[in-house]
Amino acid sequence: MPELLRPGSIDEAADLIARHGAAASVLAGGTSLMRETYPSDGGYLIGVDRLGLDKVVSHDGGWSVGAAVPLSVLREAVPIAALQAATREIGGPAVQNMATVGGNLFARAPFGDLAPALLALGARLVFATAGGETTQSIEDFYAGWADGAPPRAGLLTRIEIDAPTGASAYMKCARRRYSTPSVVTVAACVEKDGGTVSGARIALSGASAHPFRCAGAERAVIGSGLDEAAVTAAAAAAESAVEPQTDSVASEWYRRRMTGVFVRRVLAALA
């Protein structure tokens, strides 16, 4: 069984993570980590509950969200449509009270339903490492994943979200209405200049090894009026960009089909 350590400062936590390397796991809400069993001895769980990472600070340009903020708190604190929708789509109310924003960003497919919203909003992730603080765009963070697993990035301390300059939408395709794993999850944030799309971020989760921004779908809608042809092209681009797995939730075929359908629906909601 691993040992639970509960450091009292971010520096102390970063040191522990650096010192114990692969033997250390950060424990946030525990809704993923606590499900794992510990057949072998050893290892450390580094609790984040005493680090003061459970606050949302709102400032002029946006929000600074502590990594240990529970999803239900995020929903109350940050009034962005895509983000609020996402927090309702992750587990049931109990999970939403426990699971943290940070923890969800490390979830393995088909979980990871918050990430598309944060990708669409262009969020930045701030990590504490033994060498100091580093900031990374959320895309770069996912680009560093290998074999569906996150890199050892140190301690995620906060997520920086700028006030959106466009409209956002979020939809999750799943087998039941609530508390259910994703077939595919789609979020988009679209800026318009008159009737023309001047900027777009379209992100997906559930249907690939990790959440990602779909450049092909974004190209298809930028410069368009989100007309039928552009939306169809974006859906097709997303279908070819995903790399779905067959699992007990859905087949590869179904995930791919629903990717197109849900990209279409999300863009329709923003048209």
Ligand X SMILES: Cc1cc2nc3c(=O)[nH]c(=O)nc-3n(C[C@H](O)[C@H](O)[C@H](O)COP(=O)(O)OP(=O)(O)OC[C@H]3O[C@@H](n4cnc5c(N)ncnc54)[C@H](O)[C@@H]3O)c2cc1C
Asked whether position 121 contacts ligand X by CB under 6 A, the answer is no
Q: Which stretch binds ligand X (CB under 6 A): 111-119, 162-170, 208-216, 225-233?
A: 111-119
Asked whether position 93 contacts another protein by CB under 8 A, the answer is yes
Asked whether position 48 contacts ligand X by CB under 6 A, the answer is yes
Asked whether position 102 contacts ligand X by CB under 6 A, the answer is yes
CB 48 within 8 A of CB 10: no
Please report how the helices 252-270 and 228-241 are oriented relative to each other, as an axis angle in degrees rounded to 10: 150
Asked whether position 155 contacts ligand X by CB under 6 A, the answer is yes
Amino acid at 223: G
Q: Which stretch binds ligand X (CB under 6 A): 26-34, 159-167, 207-215, 233-241?
A: 26-34
Amino acid at 192: K
- At 31, which helix (H) or strand (E)? none
Which CB atom, from 18 or from 33, has the smaller least distance to ligand X?
33
- Full strand arrangement of the beta sheet holding 196-205: 167-174, 182-193, 196-205, 212-213
> What is the spatial distance between Cα 202 and Cα 188, in angstroms, rounded to a whole number?
4
Asked whether position 37 contacts another protein by CB under 8 A, the answer is yes
Smallest gap from residue 39 Cβ to another protein (A): 5
> What is the spatial distance between Cα 64 and Cα 78, in angstroms, rounded to a whole number?
10
Which CB atom, from 29 or from 220, has the smaller least distance to ligand X?
29
Q: In the set 2, 102, 164, 211, which binds another protein (CB under 8 A)?
A: 2
Strand boundaries in the chain, DSSP class E:
3-5, 24-27, 44-47, 56-59, 62-66, 124-129, 132-137, 155-162, 167-174, 182-193, 196-205, 212-213
What does 103 bind: ligand X, another protein, none (CB cut-off 5 to 8 Å by kind)?
ligand X
Asked whether position 73 contacts ligand X by CB under 6 A, the answer is no
**Site residues (CB under 6 A) for ligand X?**
25-33, 48, 67, 90-91, 95, 98-100, 102-104, 106-107, 111-113, 155-156, 181
